[in-house]
Amino acid sequence: MTELSCIVLAAGKGTRMKSDRPKVMHQIAGRPLVTHVLASVAEIGAREVALVIGPDMAEIAAEGEKVGLACKVAVQQERLGTGDAVRIGLMALPRPSGTVIVLFGDTPLITPGTIANLARHIEAGASIAVLGFETGRPTGYGRILRDAQGQVVAIREENDASPEEKAVTFCNSGVMAFNAEALRELLPLIGNDNAKGEYYLTDAVALAVERGMAVRAQTCDESEVQGINNRLELSRAETLMQVRLREAAMLAGVTMQAPETVFLTFDTQLAADVLIEPNVVFGPGVTVESGAVIHAFSHLEGTHVGAGCHVGPFARLRPGTRLGPKAKVGNFVETKNARVGERAKINHLSYVGDARVGENANIGAGTITCNYDGFDKHMTDIGAGAFIGSNSALVAPVTIADGAYVGSGSVVTRDVEAGALALARGVQVVKPGWATRFRAEKAAAKAKSANGAAGEAGEGRPAGDTLVKAGGQAD
């Protein structure tokens, strides 16, 4: 697109969201609503972008940078309508030329293709192009009015529409494209003589028609321009976005056994021949390479999964996790800031955080890297081919060198050299006959109690053989 500028209106408080957060900062697919819109703007190559926000909404201003846009931020102190908001946004741009597109920060499903197609009407000579949709439920929307020849003559807000106009089902999305010179000419002519006393940008259409300017309309699917005003509409937009993301992934070669149970984010990258089982959640920043299998009920965020890996079921991969090719992270395993080498295995019931696990290493069930001392995080380095026995605690900082063994049940606090065996557990003591005597003594005590007899609970205990409490069981 040539000479394209955008004004994104994002000043709404979102009162119906019942939230202290600005409406456009609520998220779908792991990204704020307004950032989805700005990402589409960036994709079509807008030269200049003005972001119109309300007072005390400075957090919105930084969203443009996340998608590579240097937005000009303008503050609408009083909410006097879309015409006033566009006027404020236009002042923030250094006299744009060509096409100016007005978008809304709460319509995250609008696609770059739709925006670009709307702009082409202006490049073809129209002064205004409006984006509309057909719906069987027009209540609440402005109506796009056309004459007998199908030419757009006005947009009427519902509060000001006649009964005949309310029967129109071609509705205004609010998204409009303008020739920059026409926009500068029409904005000062917009008044506020209407039911709300606001300056409606849509009034520019009738003003343009009166002056012989060409106005065009483009149709899109209603879902693409669905605005979000409450949590229910937010959930509906999430559902639509998830369908879009899943379909794109499957068409690119990803297998999803139950796609409706898989949740993706805007930046999830899944290679061809990845298999995803049911009930998997991807947080932001996940890449999965070809041939990997993500088993059911797993949660991944900020993670790189190498080719041919197996993850889960019931695995949690936290930010900073990187799995080498054909590594395995199994059921009820949690990793964080962990680099797991090729063919290494952490198959079950373990926590590996702030660690490096070398290639072909094997981490036994119940292994914990004790990475936090209450103040700082420390690293555990496990070498290639190392074997960590089940139920071991590795107290960081510590290094288990290549090929070393750690005996099951060990608490390792010092480095283990290559090829060595580390044992760090109490010496086993066996007392023959202890269990038999313990049970007999307890049974006798219960019998005496039941008969109402008094006596020492330990009477009859063999001299010098102190009984300790055995581990209890749930009953």
Q: Quote the CA–CA distance of 175 and 114 in Å, as a whole number.
A: 10
Q: Which residues pair with 357 in a beta bridge?
A: 340, 382
| Mean per-residue pLDDT pooled into runs of 10, the chain (475 residues) | 89 89 96 97 94 92 93 93 96 91 97 96 96 92 90 90 92 96 96 90 94 95 93 97 98 98 98 98 98 98 98 98 98 98 97 98 98 95 98 97 96 97 91 93 91 53 44 39
Report whether 331 contacts 294 (CB < 8 A): no
Among residues 211, 202, 203, 228, the alpha carbon closest in space to that of 12 is found at: 228
For residues 269 and 213, membership in a common domain is answered with no
pLDDT of residue 470: 41
> At 372, which CATH number?
2.160.10.10
3-state DSSP call for residue 158? Answer: helix
Position 471 in a domain: no
Report whether 359 contacts 341 (CB < 8 A): yes
For residues 300 and 209, membership in a common domain is answered with no
Q: Which one is catalytic: 36, 121, 310, 348?
A: 348
Position 461 in a domain: no
pLDDT of residue 451: 84
CB contact set of 229 (below 8 Å; sequence gap of 6+): 14, 16, 17, 23, 106
For residues 209 and 301, membership in a common domain is answered with no
Using a 10 angstrom Cβ sphere, with 0-12 exposed, 13-18 middle and 19 or more buried, the burial of residue 102 is buried
For residues 195 and 288, membership in a common domain is answered with no
Position 271 in a domain: yes
For residues 8 and 156, membership in a common domain is answered with yes
DSSP one-letter code for 448: H
Which ranges constitute the DSSP H helices of 93-124? 112-123
Position 240 in a domain: no
For residues 271 and 415, membership in a common domain is answered with yes
Position 237 in a domain: no
Position 82 in a domain: yes
Angle between helical axes of 33-43 and 112-123 (0-180°, round to 10): 50
For residues 260 and 211, membership in a common domain is answered with no
Residue-level length of the chain? 475
Among residues 334, 304, 306, 308, the alpha carbon closest in space to that of 321 is found at: 304
Question: Residue 184 belongs to what H/E stretch?
Answer: helix 180-186
Q: Identify residue 183 by its one-letter amino acid code.
A: L
Angle at 437 between CA 431 and CA 439, to 5 degrees: 115
> At 173, which CATH number?
3.90.550.10
Count of domains observed in the chain = 2
Report whether 44 contacts 110 (CB < 8 A): no
Position 336 in a domain: yes
User: Phi/psi zone of residue 35: left (φ > 0), alpha (ψ -120 to 50 degrees), beta?
Assistant: alpha
Residue where one domain finishes, among candidates 407, 422, 437: 422
Copy the structure tokens of residue 456.
């020492």
For residues 346 and 273, membership in a common domain is answered with yes
Question: Domain residues for 145?
Answer: 4-225
Rg (CA), the chain: 33
Q: What percent of the chain is helix, strand and coil (3-state, nearest 5)? A: 25, 25, 50
Position 455 in a domain: no
For residues 155 and 254, membership in a common domain is answered with no
For residues 254 and 197, membership in a common domain is answered with no
Instruction: Report pTM.
Output: 0.88
Residue where one domain finishes, among candidates 377, 404, 422: 422
For residues 219 and 309, membership in a common domain is answered with no
pLDDT of residue 475: 41
**Catalytic residue status for 304:** no
3-state DSSP call for residue 438? Answer: helix
Q: Identify residue 439 by its one-letter amino acid code.
A: R
For residues 213 and 261, membership in a common domain is answered with no
pLDDT of residue 1: 57
Residue where one domain finishes, among candidates 404, 422, 440: 422
